[in-house]
Chains A and B, each alone.
Chain A
């Protein structure tokens, strides 16, 4: 099989990575990467590809050979003249676009599940988050009937308070979700409550957005401080409901 010229290989490698990004983020996840982030990613990809291809001296020579030939080979005069017009024009157009003032909003990266503190002060009590457990969890096996009742009470708390944002299907698509930024989390996702312990949820619910550490941008999270509205009991019941409705299991220390 004839080998592709090195230069073409390099260009193809970069193009494949770029298309990969587009396919994964734009189509599969439906969340296009912001342009500025994409430029940064692609910058590193190009550097990486160049490093691989110029690892040996021969490699370098082979890579630049076609470009060299174009500039230096007298037989390629026509093509050269054409390229010498097109390349400066393209560079000019690119520079023109770059020099336009940008309306793209600044990027804000934030931690969605920051590390919890080891203990928190709530309801005038101190809770040790490392040992805190849902007091109702054991009823799941010990008294299933009472457990169902508690789940149903949790469902009422949820619909009265939470579904406006997190959605009554717990999919993060409540009636007001689209007006918020950051958007409310979907509990159906494997990346949220399925990854967390009940004590973590208790902390996040009771202290809300303002209780987040700075790396999680507490100033924009619309999550209310639920200890102002709900009792400790109600929070534990709504947590039961979250796991029951989604079919996820809380993470526990024993399982690890």
Chain B
């Protein structure tokens, strides 16, 4: 199956090559549509101060500043091509709250809006500059990607990180002083435009206006790249997307595989290699006070294995910052209020027999949950693991993690945390702890805190209930069953044919 971002890339490609024919827009009509559809975010005056603005990151654009991220005109031109504007309004900007409008607005509506945006930005007299020349394209190939790699390492890693996960070594702000993060290039589904090399080439050439992403076509820049180099680096950047773990919405089960030896206790244990990863979206906690509207973590990838006595989980999520309070580098990047990073596994205390589960946000009074939580530690104290039983978000009972045998070990590298959590399948307190059972679907949920993004206590990201299955090995059973069925069916058919033949014989004789 083609994944969503491939569809998006394809759609973008079609959009780039056959772009709509620009039509004249009516700014007055556009103003009316803006008031009806766009004002709640972009503000009555188009200045980005709509009702939703405070709870959105990135914030809605201030159209009076006339700064556009998606531009295929020159790096010095303020005005994007009309087709660029048309495209963002039609398709929206993935990874933000800016939706695509093609299902609700006609082409003419969008051209009218564009005319109005130009009025707001005082761009009516402005002529779009020379468009980016895509005919110079160098098709992606192993050779081109190999040439792009050293260029990327030289020009891009200072912001995008060694592996492109956006783990900037410095704190970046946009022109309005709003905190921004360099894109995680392994998650192409979050690109504002797309990961088509043409799109990346345009962004690298022109930069992203209003943010720190610089224009590498600028001949005055010390870091400038030639046309050819920009294509190589674009092809290399596009290849980074293969490292991302996109969410497959049909997969709702974390499959724990049975292994023979000891369960792994560290993230780089080789036995993780054989287990199947499952990735879920993380969504911010906006259900109970105090709510969290501007999350930074967006997905989490799980693996699990078990043996006769223990189970181990490997939790991995891209977090741009290793948040260790006391660490000067971490404090410089995060700003004030640095807290530990953290991750948690949530399980029901009792495996539900029917459909009824504990409330997915930390359980309820009738049906409590176990929460195993790992914290990244500070410069004074090492990482810790805690165990609590939740009967609701404000009804938490602290328990002894060591006594229940919950262990954890984490490490951070190039923008990704990898944390292993382990526990014996059975504990001494079956009334207070989940007892793992082979072959049963067990509800499971996850939560993560980014300590550099003000996430502590009820401000965190989480998943809804998914499933955990300790999948016993099938062993010889399927073969035996198949053989028995085969023999039975063959014997039945033979018996039928024989008795029919005998009857025919009798009839003749």
Contact = CB atoms under 8 A, between A and B. Distances in A.
B479 A71 contact: no
Interface in B461-497: 463-467, 469, 471-472, 474, 477-479, 481-487, 489-490, 493-494, 496-497
Contacts of A87: 489, 493
Contacts of B477: 99
Given A95-B485, A160-B52, A214-B356, A71 B478 contact: no
A219 B360 contact: yes
Contacts of B358: 219
Interface centre among B40, B494, B496 (most CB of A within 10 A): B40
B282 interface: yes
Given A105-B441, A178-B249, A181-B252, A84 B494 contact: yes
B356 to A, nearest CB: 7
Contacts of B466: 181
A156 B481 CA distance: 62
A237 interface: no
Given A89-B486, A105-B441, A100 B474 contact: yes
A159 B41 contact: yes
B449 interface: no
Interface stretch (A7-15, A46-54, A134-142, A161-169): A161-169
A105 B504 contact: no
Nearest to A180: B464
B471 A101 contact: yes
A99 B441 CA distance: 17
Contacts of A97: 478
Interface string B233-267: 00000000000000101001101000000000000
A91 B489 contact: yes
A108 B482 contact: no
A220 B357 contact: yes
B360 A222 contact: yes
B441 A106 contact: yes
A108 B355 contact: yes
Contacts of A227: none
Interface string A184-219: 000000000000000000000000001000100111
B479 A224 contact: no
Given A71-B500, A219-B356, A176 B486 contact: no
A189 B495 CA distance: 58
A80 interface: yes
Interface stretch (B198-206, B284-292, B317-325, B416-424): B284-292
Nearest to B254: A103
Given A96-B479, A164-B286, A179-B280, A220 B360 contact: yes
Contacts of B247: 178
B283 A88 contact: no
Contacts of B191: none
A228 interface: yes
A240 interface: no
Nearest to A84: B493
B139 interface: no
Nearest to A153: B51
B131 interface: no
Nearest to B492: A88
Contacts of B487: 88
Interface residues of A, number: 55
B485 A168 contact: no
B104 interface: yes
Contacts of B367: 219
A160 to B, nearest CB: 6
Contacts, number: 153
B34 to A, nearest CB: 13
A74 interface: yes
A155 interface: yes
A99 B252 CA distance: 21
Contacts of B255: 103
Contacts of A168: 40-41, 52, 97, 99
A93 interface: yes
A60 interface: no
A244 B359 CA distance: 33
Given A96-B482, A103-B253, A181 B97 contact: no
Give the one of B104, B284, B467, B481 with max A CB within 10 A: B481
B287 A96 contact: no
B281 interface: yes
A92 interface: yes
A75 B107 CA distance: 70
B486 A92 contact: yes
A175 interface: yes
Interface in A203-256: 210, 214, 217-220, 222, 224, 228-229
Contacts of A219: 356-360, 364, 367, 465
Contacts of A171: 103
A72 interface: yes
A88 B490 CA distance: 5
Contacts of A167: 99
A245 to B, nearest CB: 9
Contacts of B5: none
A83 B492 CA distance: 13
B281 A163 contact: no
A76 to B, nearest CB: 10
B355 A217 contact: yes
B359 A218 contact: yes
Nearest to A182: B464
Most B-side CB within 10 Å, residue of A83, A94, A176, A178 = A176
Interface string A84-123: 1001110111111111110111101010000000000000
Contact of B51 (A71, A99, A159, A222): A159
Interface string B112-152: 00000000000000000000000000000000000000000
A105 B482 contact: no
B486 A164 contact: no
17 contacts: A71-B497, A80-B497, A84-B494, A88-B486, A88-B490, A93-B482, A95-B485, A155-B51, A168-B99, A176-B281, A176-B283, A179-B281, A179-B283, A210-B364, A219-B367, A220-B464, A228-B288
Given A91-B489, A101-B471, A180-B283, 18 more contacts: A84-B490, A88-B487, A89-B486, A94-B485, A96-B479, A99-B482, A104-B253, A105-B441, A108-B355, A159-B40, A164-B55, A168-B97, A169-B99, A174-B97, A179-B280, A180-B464, A214-B356, A220-B465
